[in-house]
Amino acid sequence: MDIEAEAKKLLLENRRTTGEYQYIIPSADHYPYQWLWDSCFHSIILAKFEPTAAKAELRALLSKQFENGLIPHIIYWSPGVLHLFRWGVEGTSSLTQPPMLAYAAWETHKRDLDTPFLQSIFPSLVSYYRFLLTERDPHGHHLASIINPDESGEDNSPRFDTPLGVTPGVSLKDHLGKRTELVDKNRECNFDAGKCMRDFFWVKDVLFNTVLVENLRALSKIAGYLEHAEYEHAFMRDADAVAGAMRERMLEDGIYWSTMGAEFTKLKTATWAHFVPLFAGLYTPPEAEVVVREHLLNPETFYASFGIRTTSKAEPAYRPHADDFSWRGPSWMAAHWFIYHGLKRYGFSKEADDIRAKSVGLLEKSGFRECFDPETGEGLGAHGFTWGALVLDMMEE
């Protein structure tokens, strides 16, 4: 299989235009709209061979920004569509997703020095990250909160079972029901975080905040490049503050855990989120050594023959095989991508090569599927799913 050619073909097949906007849908059979972090992944890949399309992707994503700065996690584009995920506001969802935008914008810029483009999107980026640092952190704890599991990008991860009020054996259908209920409650609150939203689901997620740290650093670089020295320093300080707060509130026994509520109660369900802080360099090298050797490479928990399990095999919630997409065990390409870059950052080259080889192996065995049974490599969920193209960003530069 010529993965590069197949990936490029898929990105082209899934390309759509609405009016002046061009974007890529993650999968024609399951996800016919635009998604936030998916579009960031798309632009990171497109930047390598078609930067104009990478910029178009980001421009479309930013076009539906809310007045308060939020970038919605889904833009429906086609008017009148009726869909399960039609949550909240007309034309978009009312949630966000892991804030990969600044990273994607900087990756795009590095390969295509279009300063006017960067300048044109900078104010939107500033207002988005400011929203996360203020409205989603009304008490100034330096950690951004998510108001729904979907905002983590891992919609049904068991990491959120306790705050969502479900048990490890919950059906995927009931799980989705709970998440839509949550949006209804937040809509009644008029999405006011400080007042009532926090009563329903108020989680400081490891993945979301790790992504925030690395993206604040990217935003600081963008500000420096555009000669906005004040922003450059302010966003770097914010990145340090979030990293510091994560260490203080989330680290226990050498592992980062998401927390819930005002008391920062740790959510002790073992998921691949343990490895995400490697992506932003948040573990010390000795801590990273333990995390990689004792957890990532442990066949009893995360390391399976075909991929990294998104939920530890030792968890009662673990289900490697589901009827539909699931973060309760199956391997996902975005997870492999974060882990790959995290391993590289610390110099675990052999282990990173292994993650890339497993990713390629999954595509060769099962094609561009949404996720994969880590024990058998069988494809699960959506077909023609774009995340497989992330292997193009797991190559030696």
Nearer to ligand GLC, 215 or 220 (CB): 215
Give the alpha-carbon dihedral of 278, 35, 56, 14, to 10 degrees: 110
Count of residues that bind ligand GLC according to CB under 6 A:
8
Rounded to 5 degrees, what are φ and ψ at 255?
Answer: -130, 140
Residue 26 interacts with ligand GLC (CB under 6 A)? Answer: yes
How far is residue 25's CA from residue 158's CA, in Å, rounded to a whole number? 26
Smallest separation, CB 27 to ligand GLC (Å): 7
E strand segments, the chain = 15-18, 21-24, 34-35, 74-75, 203-204, 251-252, 255-256, 259-260, 265-266, 371-372, 379-380
Nearer to ligand GLC, 71 or 288 (CB): 71
Nearer to ligand GLC, 13 or 294 (CB): 13
Nearer to ligand GLC, 25 or 239 (CB): 25
CA-closest candidate to residue 31, choices 150, 131, 124: 150
| CB distance 137 to 144 below 8 Å | yes
Binding region for ligand GLC (CB under 6 A) out of 14-22, 31-39, 238-246, 251-259: 31-39
Binding region for ligand GLC (CB under 6 A) out of 34-42, 101-109, 136-144, 226-234: 34-42
Binding region for ligand GLC (CB under 6 A) out of 29-37, 123-131, 306-314, 343-351: 29-37
x-marked contacts with ligand GLC along 242-261 as a string, rule CB under 6 A: --------------------
Rounded to 5 degrees, what are φ and ψ at 3?
Answer: -60, -40
Smallest separation, CB 110 to ligand GLC (Å): 24
| CB distance 15 to 364 below 8 Å | no
* Number of continuous H segments (helices) and E segments (strands) in the chain: 12, 11
CA-closest candidate to residue 102, choices 161, 182, 40: 40
The CA-CA-CA angle for residues 19, 24, 25, to 5°, reads: 105
Nearer to ligand GLC, 222 or 362 (CB): 362
Nearer to ligand GLC, 71 or 245 (CB): 71
x-marked contacts with ligand GLC along 164-203 as a string, rule CB under 6 A: ----------------------------------------
How far is residue 41's CA from residue 198's CA, in Å, rounded to a whole number? 30
The residue of the chain with the least Cβ separation from ligand GLC equals 26
**Residue 303 β-bridge partners:** 308
- Contacts of residue 48, Cβ cutoff 8 Å, sequence gap at least 6: 111, 392, 393
To which H or E segment does residue 210 belong?
helix 206-225
Residue 153 interacts with ligand GLC (CB under 6 A)? Answer: yes
Binding region for ligand GLC (CB under 6 A) out of 11-19, 33-41, 167-175, 273-281: 33-41
Nearer to ligand GLC, 346 or 385 (CB): 385
Binder of ligand GLC out of 23, 35, 200, 340 (CB under 6 A)? 35
Binder of ligand GLC out of 23, 31, 318, 372 (CB under 6 A)? 31
How far is residue 25's CA from residue 43's CA, in Å, rounded to a whole number? 12
In the chain, the N- to C-terminal Cα span, in Å, equals 21
Binder of ligand GLC out of 38, 135, 238, 315 (CB under 6 A)? 38
Other beta carbons within 10 angstroms of residue 195's beta carbon come to 11
Nearer to ligand GLC, 41 or 117 (CB): 41
Binding region for ligand GLC (CB under 6 A) out of 30-38, 172-180, 223-231, 270-278: 30-38
CA-closest candidate to residue 9, choices 334, 392, 356, 366: 392
x-marked contacts with ligand GLC along 306-345 as a string, rule CB under 6 A: -------------------x--------------------
Smallest separation, CB 314 to ligand GLC (Å): 23
Residues 95-124 that bind ligand GLC (CB under 6 A): none
Kindly list the residues in this chain that would bind ligand GLC in the complex (CB under 6 A).
26, 31, 35, 37-38, 153, 155, 325
